[in-house]
């Protein structure tokens, strides 16, 4: 089971690799909601999202043999960029499956970060279809699949966001009682909530989903894992 110690271990590996992004006070939101609101600016990462944390840490934990065989992932964009960047840095071959509906800008960024070490395969109209094809390819080609969220190493890497938040809050004497975490696949909130609740259980962690993609909320209500049948949101993974 994931623990705060796993997040600390991931932080040590990622130090110097990922950007320790700023925790910035937001005047507009603070005034609007009559609360002191800080934003963790993960768009300042090299790949413009937190996904590099989980991807890099998970791949760094592979054996020499696993790295030589290569990795596979499925992603609508951000996880793919994290995997591509990592594989270029570590000189590991990667095959990345993306839905055919993926914006060209995202595909271009994956090519840019991955360079000669990445092969992109556009498969299926949805992430689930692309992920299924990626997992089948992983088995037939004897590669390692880097899951975008359902992986303990990925979750530990994403949890380093919380490590940095609490460290900066301590250094700057910032007191807060709630952390709001965006929820897609659940990897980020798994890592963040694990670290925060073990470190300071008085802090409330709230997951936030786009109104048109409420699969996590529906899953909690149903008591079982569910997939969104339809996505209505400008947010992209």
CATH number, domain of 112, equals 3.40.50.1100
Strand order in 94-98's β-sheet? Answer: 118-122, 94-98, 71-74, 144-145
Tell whether 66 and 113 lie within a shared domain: yes
Tell whether 19 and 104 lie within a shared domain: no
Closest among 60, 69, 68 to 143, alpha carbons compared:
69
Where in the sequence is the domain holding 22, given as residue range(s)? 4-45+151-222
- At 235 the pLDDT is 55
Q: At what angle do helices 4-14 and 51-60 cross, to 10 degrees?
A: 90
Closest among 75, 142, 149, 84 to 110, alpha carbons compared:
84
Tell whether 78 and 107 lie within a shared domain: yes
192 pLDDT higher than 60: yes
Q: Average the pLDDT over 69-85 and give the result.
A: 97
The sign of the dihedral angle between the CA atoms of 97, 110, 106, 212 is positive
Q: Is 12 helix (H, G, I), strand (E, B) or coil?
A: helix
- At 66 the pLDDT is 99
- 236 pLDDT band, cuts 50/70/90, is low
213 pLDDT higher than 90: no
- 222 pLDDT band, cuts 50/70/90, is confident
What is the Cα–Cα distance from 22 to 165, expressed in whole angstroms?
9
What percent of the chain lies above the pLDDT cut of 70? 95
Which tokens belong to 173? 């004497």
Identify each DSSP E strand in 81-158 by its residue range. 94-98, 118-122, 144-145
232 pLDDT higher than 70: no
Tell whether 120 and 156 lie within a shared domain: no
Query: CB–CB of 71/92 below 8 Å?
Result: yes
Q: Tens digits of per-residue pLDDT, 11-50?
A: 999 999 999 999 999 999 999 999 999 999 999 999 999 9
Q: What is the DSSP letter of 230?
A: -
Residue 200 lies in a domain: yes
- At 229 the pLDDT is 57
Q: Tens digits of per-residue pLDDT, 85-98?
A: 999 999 999 999 99
What percent of the chain lies above the pLDDT cut of 90? 86
Q: Average the pLDDT over 185-207 and give the result.
A: 97
Tell whether 41 and 157 lie within a shared domain: yes
Q: What is the mean pLDDT of the chain?
A: 94
Which tokens belong to 76? 């609508």
Residue 84 lies in a domain: yes
- 231 pLDDT band, cuts 50/70/90, is low
Residue where one domain finishes, among candidates 118, 145, 172: 145
Residue 80 lies in a domain: yes
Domain count, the chain: 2
More confident residue, 154 or 227: 154
Residue 234 lies in a domain: no
Residue where one domain finishes, among candidates 145, 160, 185: 145
Query: CB–CB of 53/155 below 8 Å?
Result: no
Residue where one domain finishes, among candidates 121, 145, 169: 145
Tell whether 25 and 39 lie within a shared domain: yes
Q: Tens digits of per-residue pLDDT, 115-143?
A: 999 999 999 999 999 999 999 999 999 99
Closest among 145, 62, 77, 69 to 111, alpha carbons compared:
77
Query: Which residue reads 């990626």 in tokens?
Result: 134
Residue 236 lies in a domain: no
């Amino acid at each position: 089971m994931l623990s705060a110690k796993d997040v600390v271990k991931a932080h040590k590996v990622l130090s110097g690799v990922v950007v320790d992004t700023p925790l910035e006070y937001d005047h507009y939101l603070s005034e609007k909601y009559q609360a002191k609101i800080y934003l963790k600016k993960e768009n300042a990462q090299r790949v413009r999202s937190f996904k590099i944390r989980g991807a890099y840490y998970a791949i760094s934990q592979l054996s020499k043999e696993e790295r030589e065989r290569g990795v596979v992932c499925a992603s609508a964009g951000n996880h793919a960029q994290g995997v591509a960047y990592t594989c270029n840095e570590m000189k590991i071959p990667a095959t990345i499956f993306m839905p055919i509906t993926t914006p060209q800008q995202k595909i271009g960024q994956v090519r840019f970060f991955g360079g000669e070490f990445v092969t992109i395969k556009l498969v299926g109209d949805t992430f689930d279809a692309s992920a299924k094809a990626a997992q089948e390819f992983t088995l037939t080609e004897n590669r390692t699949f880097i899951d975008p969220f359902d992986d303990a190493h990925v979750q530990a890497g994403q949890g380093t966001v919380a490590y940095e938040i609490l460290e900066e809050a301590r250094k700057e004497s910032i007191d807060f009682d709630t952390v709001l975490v965006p929820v897609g696949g659940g990897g980020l909130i798994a890592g963040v909530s694990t670290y925060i609740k073990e470190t300071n259980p008085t802090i409330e962690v709230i997951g936030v989903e786009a109104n048109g993609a409420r699969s996590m909320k529906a899953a909690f209500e149903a008591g079982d894992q569910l997939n969104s049948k339809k996505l209505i949101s400008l947010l992209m993974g």
